[in-house]
Amino acid sequence: MENRENKILSVRIVLIFVALMVLISAAIYFDSSKNRKLKESEKIEYLVRYSIEDGELNQLLKNNGNYSDLYKYKNFWKAINRVYPKKYLKYVEEFKIIDDGKGKSIVTVRNRKYEENEWSIVVDLADGMDADANPTPIFYEELVKGVFNGISLEVSQIVADEYRNGLDVQKGHFKKDSYQQKFYNKFWKGIASEHGSLVKKNGIDDAKEIFYKNHRDSFANSNAAISSIKDSSETFKIFVYEDKPKGNSILDKKVLFFYEYPELVEIREELRSGLGL
């Protein structure tokens, strides 16, 4: 009798264990399903995608937006066409409009291949356009930063594996004589370890604020304190928008860095002309 009761008890324990496992598995499934849905909702929505040929909109490849809004997207491209240096505009083969909400990236320039210049420009509708369907002032500022990002990704600047000790960029590295590598060597090499420690301890968002406070005369803003690459693009914006500095701060020296390259001075003048400065 006692053995029979023990067997019944054992069966009940097993059944309870199995039931618990089912419940746990279900909870994990629904939680992961919820996370998947969240991630899907956070994906960038591409409203339109154009192919570009000789600096002009060529073909509408994709349209998830309203056809009545196409004039807005074309207004963006008109602005880009007017401002962007013609030497680099010819590399642009794709133009995308996204809507990822306020406060996100406004203009992004990417080189889709390392072995050749094949650029893509992505613009955010939410932050980049005002109520009258005109590009906002901040759109132009971000476009200027995007110009330098694009130049930095030009094939003469990066390589897949030639300089493995150089700054990483996606799947490649900046060359020894690239703008980005020289900027890093001159302004970031001595403070990189401090930055790395702050990021490890506090995370990038808090670290950039702390790093900016620690070196306030070195950066244009806290966004520049995220990385050497962010710093160079924020400084390039100052280089384009403002007069040549006469001071001696680290930030002044960073701006003067760009004046060392005649080709960048020419690009500055072309950008200023397109911006009406």
Please write the tens of the pLDDT for every residue from 192-246.
889 989 998 898 889 899 999 999 999 999 999 999 999 999 999 999 999 999 9
> Looking at residue 129, what DSSP letter applies?
B
The most distant pair of C-alpha atoms in the chain lies apart, rounded to whole Å, by 99
Domain map of the chain by residue range? Answer: 1-43, 46-136, 158-275
- SS3 assignment, position 135: strand
The per-residue pLDDT for 267 is 95
62's enclosing H/E stretch is strand 56-63
Summarised one tens digit per residue, pLDDT across range 66-117 is 777 888 888 889 999 999 998 888 888 888 888 766 555 677 776 555 556 7
Q: 80 near 121, Cβ under 8 Å?
A: yes
